[in-house]
Amino acid sequence: MKRFHVHMHVEDLGKNIAFYSAMFHQPPARTEADYAKWMLQDPPVNFAISTRGSATGVDHLGIQVESTEELAELRAHAREADLALQDDGETTCCYARSDKYWLTDPQGVAWEQFHTLDNIPVFSEPESLSNQAESTSCCAPRAIETVATLPSTNSGAQTPAAKACC
């Protein structure tokens, strides 16, 4: 099963938890000091909010899969369509360890495709001390150049510029 994923940056976590809990008619499946996530079954959506972004609003969209095989299938479809992807491999973010990659649509909207491997007790684990400052907001890639391509062409590759997570 695939699950649609939305992550939004919000200013006031408490007010937004109250709003979305009322709207979804259920409390978050996970709540942290700077983060909340609802794993909705109807419709199946992984909806997350956090106070870690530089701007409020939709941060990125995504597809969460339940297996390594499903992620490999999505990755293969992206490559067959000649879509450039930023492959983060196994990484940590949003209180989870995941295998993931990113695509960027022609409008610049980041799409995360990922398989969650495990929960972790922190928002993210920095790769090194030099990356620690960057890990305070780790969701969608900060900069990916996009060049629109048709699936039938081999030109116009996209070049990922920054590692990200969420």
Domain range list for the chain: 2-160
Strand partners, 155: none
Query: Hey, is 163 helix, strand or coil?
Result: coil
pLDDT digits (tens, 9 = 90+) for 67-98: 999 999 999 999 988 888 899 999 998 999 99
In 3D space, the residue among 87, 95, 83, 103 whose CA is nearest the CA of residue 122 turns out to be 95
Burial level of 144, CB count in 10 A (0-12/13-18/19+)?
buried
- The CATH number of the structural domain formed by 2-160 is 3.10.180.10
Q: Is pTM beyond 0.75 here?
A: no
Cα-to-chain-centroid distance, residue 49: 11
How far apart CA 78 and CA 114 sit, in angstroms, is 13
pLDDT digits (tens, 9 = 90+) for 111-162: 999 999 999 999 888 765 334 334 344 667 754 443 333 333 333 333 333 3
